[in-house]
Amino acid sequence: MTVENFIRMFAGAVILVSLTLGASWSPLHQSDNWLFLAAFVGLNLFQSAFTGLCPLDRILRRLGMRSGGSACGV
């Protein structure tokens, strides 16, 4: 798995979990404050499209995860 694919997977998982815990209609609702986490991740994805700055990208590259490849991870 490449850095790019992992970031997409991680961001999607964090957004889904925070929406599940923050949405009032969810059976797993804990607090509305979980929605701020989804907003933070979404804003970070948005700004990284323009600036290229992504903290998770830097962390994963320092841990030795490879970059590049196709969307299928080949």
Summarised one tens digit per residue, pLDDT across range 2-18 is: 899 999 999 999 999 99
For CA atoms 55, 61, 67, 71, give the dihedral sign.
negative
Q: What is the pLDDT of residue 66?
A: 87
Task: Judge whether 22 and 29 are in contact, CB under 8 Å.
Answer: yes
Query: What six digits make up the tokens of 29?
Result: 């609702």
Q: Looking at the 3D structure of the chain, how many domains does it have?
A: 1
Q: Is residue 10 part of a domain?
A: yes
Assess whether pLDDT exceeds 80 at residue 64: yes
> Does 74 map to a domain?
no
Is residue 40 a part of any domain in this protein?
Answer: yes
pTM beyond 0.75: yes
What are the structure tokens assigned to 48, written together? Answer: 């990284």
- Which two structure tokens, joined as six digits, stand for 46? 């948005």
Percent of the residues in the chain that have a pLDDT greater than 90, as a whole number = 81
The answer as to whether 68 is a domain residue is no
Tokens matching residue 61 = 């590259």
> Rounded to an integer, what distance in angstroms lies between the CA atom of residue 61 and that of residue 74?
18
Q: Which domain holds residue 44?
A: 3-62
